């Protein structure tokens, strides 16, 4: 009876582990196929899949009455970066923030200067986080926890050579599918990524990815993994000492023959997968991906060269390159070669330089991981005026600006610790299978680290997940014992449930629950009100008001929802006012309605600014809304000064990418100057402010649109000052 009970318990434990392994593999396969998992539904599915696999492993530990935590060389890096991310959104005393992040403190002072005008009793000892906008940092924490749980969970389930090979084949299969699918879509003229039409119809291929550069990053990872696995199979193809001598039994001979045949099939399939992936890499026409793959191959060759007995695996590199070189010209490589002749475009270098300007304002603790797209418009070059730049195309510069010197030092320290400890262990291993796959993470990391100087592969969830999987495979392979079929032996922190140390389980459960909850809340909010530019659906201009309110209920930390709420309320208010004026109705009911809407609009705008103090449009709209309070008795003492402060803040954050902002700010100061008599000094001050914004708008506008813009400015100003024939000539004389 006891034996049957133990057998049943052991079977269920094995079943839980196997199910977790299958879930991790499904997540690993589906994430790249769904556009690289850049859309909310895709990365939410990825997060929930990882959490499901983690929960099954925790359930297995519960049945065994102990908690198992893999003890790897990346534990230190994961822990310090996770703590640092939480530090960036943890409120600190105002005096501390002023010392460690002066620009964050100055931004908070600007916000207080605008919003606390109505509250003169504001306390000066407020607590602030070092990241002015916490919402992107929270999203980064969710993503980082997902990668960490996947790494530790995947390490646990890769407990045999068979599963390690299954994981390798899963990654190679995805890479082959992406390459073949991209070839079909491009050369058939269909130009779709699944159901979504592609904007570009060039001869480069990108599979189901939106960008060919991110697709190229996946292909580079695939070809490096295929080379490492091919070398592992070549090195482990030795026959047994018995050989085929006379003393060898017939059954043993057949077994060894079939084993060699099976190994030969694996080598053939792996080389085929590498060739397909290599052609996908070449035809992606991604220059950074091609060079980074070459860096990775050189790195892998260096690893094999460092071990004399494994140098015989080097021909696999040459063979794979020959196969790719033979087939690529027959498919069409001219487009890729032509792109290498057009490297004069220095836009990415400009992005990096402006990102470093951003870093100079947030040098120590950074602006907050994930905040680049919200802060960069303030530093964006006028040459990129009408572009919305989501990434710096240089992950190193972007991480430095978002995490600061402290974050970069923590990252490099953790990576050096991982490299030192792992290389030390790698040198002690002798098995060719272990040595080759153990070097794979280093080669992939080297390739992506180089590629990160030109692109943003590590911001693509699927590519980061693949990198995490390759790292887990390499780490597990280094602890693999392949004698007589024994499984992998990796050190664990084993904590019995009876020990007080089991309290460590509570933070793990809390962090997993928090990650899953906010991943779902974020997805639900985005399904109601789409605010991301990476989604398939185009951002809708007229989102129903109730949908926006539902989005805020699901996720109250996203400033874009509050601004969308204010915009929809403005439209509704203006529609009611137009109806009332057209029907010549009594103004009492309409005014009461407009007043209630106005209060709600102001509250939404103020909340949006407090959440995200970097967006100049929020301040601009708040300034105009304050001027609509002209019926209030304290209009000239409260609302007009508050409007002036909001417009001054908008000027501070306007940058040089948006002509509209400078035009609207100029219109505001023109209107404001009309509120004072010509003899007052304020009139000249306000007009000079307006003129500067108009001149700035004309400087930024393109040559084709400059005449149109100048006519618009002159028409607007003459509406208030009809006596001015040439406003720019007059303003110049007035300044003199």
Tens digits of residue pLDDT in 271-293: 888 888 988 888 888 888 888 98
Q: Which of 456, 478, 493 is the last residue of a domain?
A: 493
Query: What is the distance between the alpha carbons of residues 416 and 413, in angstroms, rounded to a whole number?
Result: 5
Question: Which of 245-249, 570-574, 582-586 is predicted with the least confidence, judged by mean pLDDT?
Answer: 245-249
Question: Which of 6-10, 68-72, 335-339 is predicted with the least confidence, judged by mean pLDDT?
Answer: 6-10
Q: 154: pLDDT confidence band, cut at 50, 70 and 90?
A: very high
Look at phi and psi of residue 485 and say left if phi exceeds 0, alpha if psi is from -120 to 50, else beta.
Answer: left
Query: What is the distance between the alpha carbons of residues 409 and 406, in angstroms, rounded to a whole number?
Result: 5
Q: Write out the residue range of the structural domain in which residue 363 sits.
A: 162-238+253-287+297-375+386-493
Domains identified in the chain, total number: 2
Which tokens is 695 given? 């001149």
Nearest by Cα to 359 from 387, 394, 410:
394
Note whether residue 191 is domain-resident: yes
Nearest by Cα to 203 from 183, 232, 222, 223:
183
pLDDT for 481 beyond 80: no
pLDDT for 535 beyond 60: no
Whose structure tokens read 């990346």? Answer: 74
DSSP letter, residue 480: B
Note whether residue 427 is domain-resident: yes
Q: Are 81 and 414 in contact (CB under 8 A)?
A: yes
* pTM score, whole prediction: 0.88
Query: What is the distance between the alpha carbons of residues 644 and 236, in angstroms, rounded to a whole number?
Result: 75
**Helical H segments across 188-249, by residue range:** 212-235
Q: Tally the residues of the chain.
A: 736
Note whether residue 153 is domain-resident: no
Mean pLDDT of 393-403: 94
Q: Which of 473, 493, 513 is the last residue of a domain?
A: 493
pLDDT digits (tens, 9 = 90+) for 577-586: 777 766 655 5
The set of residues, in sequence order, having a beta carbon less than 8 Å from that of 20 and lying 6+ positions away, is: 53, 54, 56, 57, 60, 153, 156, 157
CB crowding 164-200: b at 16 or more within 10 Å, else e: bbebbbbbbebbbbbbbbbbebbeeeeeebeeeebee
DSSP letter, residue 538: P
Number of H helices, E strands in the chain: 27, 6
Which tokens is 329 given? 């010209």
Note whether residue 526 is domain-resident: no
Note whether residue 704 is domain-resident: yes
State in Å, rounded, how far the first CA of the chain is from the last one.
Answer: 103
Helix axes 287-305, 315-331, angle to 10 degrees: 160
Q: What are phi and psi of 600, to 5 degrees?
A: -65, -40
In DSSP terms, 193 is beta-bridged to: 196
Whose structure tokens read 């974050």? Answer: 407
Tell me the HSE value of 313 on the side-chain side, using a 13 A CA sphere.
30
Question: Which of 295-299, 484-488, 566-570 is predicted with the least confidence, judged by mean pLDDT?
Answer: 484-488
Query: What is the distance between the alpha carbons of residues 570 and 661, in angstroms, rounded to a whole number?
Result: 19
Q: What are phi and psi of 690, to 5 degrees?
A: -65, -45
Nearest by Cα to 324 from 227, 259, 463:
227
CB atoms within 10 A of CB 64: 15
pLDDT digits (tens, 9 = 90+) for 3-54: 544 444 454 566 888 999 999 999 999 999 999 999 999 999 999 999 999 9
Note whether residue 723 is domain-resident: yes
**3-state class (DSSP) for residue 238:** coil
pLDDT score at 621: 93
Q: Are 417 and 77 in contact (CB under 8 A)?
A: yes
Task: Quote the distance between the C-alpha of residue 447 and its chain's center.
Answer: 19
Q: Are 278 and 324 in contact (CB under 8 A)?
A: yes
Note whether residue 445 is domain-resident: yes
CB atoms within 10 A of CB 721: 14
Task: Quote the distance between the C-alpha of residue 410 and its chain's center.
Answer: 19
Query: What is the distance between the alpha carbons of residues 648 and 550, in angstroms, rounded to a whole number?
Result: 33
pLDDT digits (tens, 9 = 90+) for 197-226: 877 777 788 889 988 889 999 999 999 999
Nearest by Cα to 650 from 684, 608, 687, 599:
608
Question: Which of 253-262, 347-356, 412-421, 722-731 is predicted with the least confidence, judged by mean pLDDT?
Answer: 253-262
Helix (H) or strand (E) holding 70: strand 66-70
Q: What is the dihedral of CA 412, 370, 135, 92, to 10 degrees?
A: 40
Query: What is the distance between the alpha carbons of residues 58 and 153, in angstroms, rounded to a whole number?
Result: 10
Tell me the HSE value of 501 on the side-chain side, using a 13 A CA sphere.
10
Q: 337: pLDDT confidence band, cut at 50, 70 and 90?
A: low
**String of DSSP letters for 484-512:** GG--B---EEEEETTSGGGGGHHHHHHHH
In DSSP terms, 68 is beta-bridged to: 494
**3-state class (DSSP) for residue 124:** coil
Q: Are 376 and 341 in contact (CB under 8 A)?
A: no
Mean pLDDT of 518-540: 77
Mean pLDDT of 373-381: 91
Q: Which of 478, 493, 508 is the last residue of a domain?
A: 493
**3-state class (DSSP) for residue 191:** coil
pLDDT score at 255: 47
Q: Are 63 and 13 in contact (CB under 8 A)?
A: yes
Nearest by Cα to 661 from 378, 246, 396, 287:
378
pLDDT digits (tens, 9 = 90+) for 609-666: 999 999 999 999 999 988 887 777 778 888 888 999 999 999 999 988 888 999 999 9
Q: Are 270 and 320 in contact (CB under 8 A)?
A: no
């Amino acid at each position: 009876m006891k034996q049957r009970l133990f057998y049943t318990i052991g079977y269920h434990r094995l079943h839980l582990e196997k199910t977790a392994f299958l879930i991790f593999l499904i997540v690993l396969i589906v994430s790249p196929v769904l556009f690289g998992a850049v859309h909310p539904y895709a990365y939410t599915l990825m997060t929930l899949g990882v959490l499901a696999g983690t929960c099954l492993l925790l359930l297995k530990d519960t049945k065994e009455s102990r908690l198992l935590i893999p003890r790897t060389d990346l534990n230190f890096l994961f822990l310090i970066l996770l703590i640092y991310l939480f530090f960036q959104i943890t409120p600190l005393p105002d005096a501390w923030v002023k010392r460690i992040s002066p620009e964050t403190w100055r931004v908070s002072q600007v916000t207080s200067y605008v919003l606390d005008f109505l509250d003169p009793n504001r306390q000066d000892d407020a607590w602030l986080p070092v990241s002015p906008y916490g919402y992107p940092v929270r999203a980064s924490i969710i993503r980082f926890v997902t990668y960490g749980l996947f790494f530790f969970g995947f390490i646990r389930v890769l407990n045999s050579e068979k599963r390690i090979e299954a994981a390798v084949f899963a990654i190679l299969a995805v890479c082959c599918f992406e390459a073949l699918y991209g070839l079909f879509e491009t050369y058939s003229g269909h130009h779709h990524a699944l159901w979504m039409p592609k904007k570009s119809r060039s001869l480069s291929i990108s599979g189901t990815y939106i960008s060919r550069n991110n697709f190229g990053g996946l292909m580079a990872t695939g070809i490096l993994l295929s080379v490492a696995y091919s070398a592992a199979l070549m090195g482990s193809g030795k026959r047994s000492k018995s050989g085929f001598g006379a003393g060898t039994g017939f059954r043993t001979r057949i077994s060894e023959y079939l084993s060699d045949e099976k190994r030969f099939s694996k080598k053939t399939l792996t080389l085929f997968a590498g060739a397909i992936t290599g052609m996908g890499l070449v035809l992606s026409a991604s220059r950074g991906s091609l060079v980074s793959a070459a860096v990775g191959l050189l790195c892998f060759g260096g690893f094999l060269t460092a071990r004399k007995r494994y140098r015989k695996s080097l021909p696999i590199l040459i063979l794979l390159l020959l196969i790719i070189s033979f087939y690529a010209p027959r498919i069409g490589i001219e487009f890729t070669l032509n792109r290498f002749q057009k490297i004069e475009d220095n836009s990415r270098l400009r992005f990096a330089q402006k990102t470093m300007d951003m870093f100079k304002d947030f040098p120590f603790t950074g602006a907050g991981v994930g905040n680049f797209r919200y802060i960069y418009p303030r530093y964006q070059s006028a040459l990129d005026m009408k572009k919305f730049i989501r990434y710096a195309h240089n992950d190193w510069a972007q991480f430095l600006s978002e995490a600061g010197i402290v974050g970069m030092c923590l990252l490099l320290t953790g990576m050096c610790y991982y490299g030192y400890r792992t290389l030390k262990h790698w040198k002690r291993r002798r098995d060719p299978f272990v040595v080759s796959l153990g070097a794979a993470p280093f080669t992939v990391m080297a390739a992506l680290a180089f590629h990160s100087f030109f692109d943003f592969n590590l911001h693509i969830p699927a590519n980061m997940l693949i990198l995490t999987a390759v790292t887990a495979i390499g780490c597990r392979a280094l602890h693999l014992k392949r004698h007589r079929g024994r499984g992998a032996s990796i050190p664990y922190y084993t904590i019995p449930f009876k020990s007080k140390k089991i309290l460590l389980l509570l933070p793990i459960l809390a962090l997993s629950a928090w990650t899953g909850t906010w991943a779902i809340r974020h997805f639900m909010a985005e399904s109601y009100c789409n605010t991301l530019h990476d989604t398939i659906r185009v951002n809708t201009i007229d989102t129903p008001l109730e949908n926006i309110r539902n989005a805020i209920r699901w996720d109250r930390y996203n400033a874009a929802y509050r601004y969308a709420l204010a915009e929809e309320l403005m439209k509704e208010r203006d529609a009611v006012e137009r109806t009332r004026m057209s029907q010549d109705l009594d103004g009492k009911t309409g005014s009461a309605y407009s007043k209630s809407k106005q209060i709600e609009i102001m509250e939404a705008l103020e909340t949006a600014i407090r959440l995200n103090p970097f967006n100049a449009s929020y301040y601009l709209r708040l300034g105009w809304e304050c001027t609509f309070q002209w019926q209030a008795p304290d209009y000239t003492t409260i609302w007009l000064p508050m409007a002036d402060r909001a417009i001054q803040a908008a000027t501070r954050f306007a940058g040089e990418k948006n002509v509209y902002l400078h035009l609207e700010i100029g219109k505001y100061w023109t209107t404001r100057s009309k509120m004072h008599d010509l003899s007052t000094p304020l009139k000249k001050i306000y007009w000079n402010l307006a003129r500067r914004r108009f001149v700035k708008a004309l400087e930024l506008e393109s040559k084709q649109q400059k005449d149109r813009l100048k006519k618009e400015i002159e028409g607007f100003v003459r509406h208030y000052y009809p006596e001015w024939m040439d406003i720019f000539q007059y303003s110049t004389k007035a300044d003199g």
